[in-house]
Amino acid sequence: MDLGLGEKLALVGGGSKGIGLACARLLQEEGARVAIVSRSRENLDRARTALPGAIGFTADLSDAEAASAVVTAVEEQLGPIDILVNSAGAARRTPPDELSPAHWRAAMDAKYFSYINLIDPIVKRMAARGSGVIINVIGVGGKVATTTHLAGGAANAALMLVTAGLGTAYAGRGVRVVGVSPGLTETDRVSEGLQAQAKLDGTSKEEALRASVARIPLGRMASPGEIANAVVFLASEKASYITGVTIAMDGAQNPIVV
């Protein structure tokens, strides 16, 4: 299927690994021009070898000024951003008895503000031009509380509200805002989460993995590429009537009506 993304400019926050890298790769395969942002120069350089022609930027997206500078640099070098994919940042998994106000604040900086700091300047520029799509990759912990991921889940829940609110606010100005909410996916972040769960349960990481997969009706974790398939479709005109919603991709683990 031709998604009509040829020559569109996509910026992928957190595009150096995991789901973000898979999204950047598929966008490029669909003909889009791609810029990626990573906090790590090492990860960025590694990703660019897998993404010939992609432009890379190093920035800590939890810093509003750094994020704004990236947006300006991308548009000065490459032109208007047509697609923003947010997949940066991850809150540290912490057992509930170890949480402190500092943990909750750090989670908001790591996940919530790393998205907001890109969304804010970009959605306004898109609205001024009358077109654009923003896709937020938001963990399912924003809908279903997990004891080891309360702070990060709260940040995800806030992003789901932002997605709904901005999708409504900008629908009449040519901008769509959509969320994709993965469950367990084969990434380093999930591996870290399983380690935290194992610590809380007093089991091994392997046992935590088996127990987690056993709760997924599809019987396996998602691959980053499967999440990217949905993201890139939603970024295209094939999804032109979808906005203001967050779509769950958890293998039917949480059969809830939304």
pLDDT the model gives residue 171: 98
Q: Tell me if residue 31 falls in helix, strand or coil.
A: coil
Pairing assessment for the beta strands 9-13 and 33-38 based on DSSP bridges:
parallel
Instruction: Please report, as a single letter, which amino acid is at residue 205.
Output: K
pLDDT the model gives residue 253: 81
Which of these, 37, 234, 34, lies nearest to 133 by C-alpha position? Answer: 234
Q: At 46, phi and psi to the nearest 5?
A: -65, -40
pLDDT the model gives residue 201: 67
Task: Extract the tokens encoding 180.
Answer: 């994709």
pLDDT the model gives residue 200: 64
Q: Could you write out the three-class secondary structure of 55-85?
A: EEEECCCCCHHHHHHHHHHHHHHHCCCCEEE
Reading the chain (258 residues) residue by residue, the pLDDT tens digits are: 689 999 899 999 999 999 999 999 999 999 999 999 999 999 998 998 889 889 999 999 999 999 999 999 999 999 999 999 999 877 787 888 889 999 999 999 999 999 999 999 999 999 999 999 999 999 988 888 888 789 999 999 999 999 999 999 999 999 999 999 998 888 876 666 666 666 666 777 677 777 778 888 888 889 999 999 999 999 999 999 999 999 999 888 888 776
Let me know: does 176 contact 167? Beta carbons within 8 Å.
yes
Which own/partner contact pairs does 150-154 have at CB distance under 8 Å and 24+ positions apart?
150/94, 150/96, 150/99, 151/91, 151/92, 151/94, 151/99, 151/103, 151/104, 151/106, 151/107, 151/108, 152/90, 152/91, 152/92, 152/93, 152/107, 152/110, 152/111, 154/104, 154/107, 154/108
Class of the CATH domain delimited by 9-249: alpha beta
Which of these, 214, 60, 242, lies nearest to 133 by C-alpha position? Answer: 242
Alpha carbon 189 to its chain centroid, in Å, reads: 12
pLDDT the model gives residue 70: 97
Q: How far apart are CA 180 and CA 56, in angstroms?
A: 24
Q: How far apart are CA 167 and CA 176, in angstroms?
A: 6
